[in-house]
Amino acid sequence: MKKILFILTLILILPLSLACGSPEEEAISPQLIKEGQQLYTTKCNKCHEIKPIDTHVRTGWISCVERMQEKDPTWISDEEREKITAYLSASVKE
């Protein structure tokens, strides 16, 4: 009986600990950056030419992308904004 409880506990706890992830996984993943780059070149040239990424430093880009999303929230979703910001954050200096 105790053994069954132990196994049950493992089954319940394992997915939880996996979901929390390790600190390394919190770093921006290469996949996210790649997707962000693609979105940058397809989403950010709707109203104007693509801006050079050295136009802003990291914090400047975060607010700039938010401002651009507000101009047309139907064109850039929250998820897309996050990916674009991830790409820009990883590509520019502080």
Which of 3, 47, 54, 74 forms a contact with ligand HEC (CB under 6 A)?
47
Strand, coil or helix: what is 74?
coil
Distance CA 32, CA 86 (A): 7
Q: Which residues, at least 6 apart from 91, have a Cβ–Cβ distance to it below 8 Å? A: 33, 37, 53
Which of 2, 3, 48, 93 forms a contact with ligand HEC (CB under 6 A)?
48
The least CB distance from residue 84 to ligand HEC, in Å, is: 5
Contact (Cβ atoms closer than 8 angstroms) between residue 81 and residue 66: yes
Q: Which residues, at least 6 apart from 3, have a Cβ–Cβ distance to it below 8 Å? A: none
Total residues binding ligand HEC (CB under 6 A): 15
Segment lying near ligand HEC (by CB under 6 A), choices 11-19, 20-28, 30-38, 68-76: 68-76
Residues that bind ligand HEC (CB under 6 A): 43-44, 46-48, 51, 55, 64-65, 68, 71-72, 75-76, 84
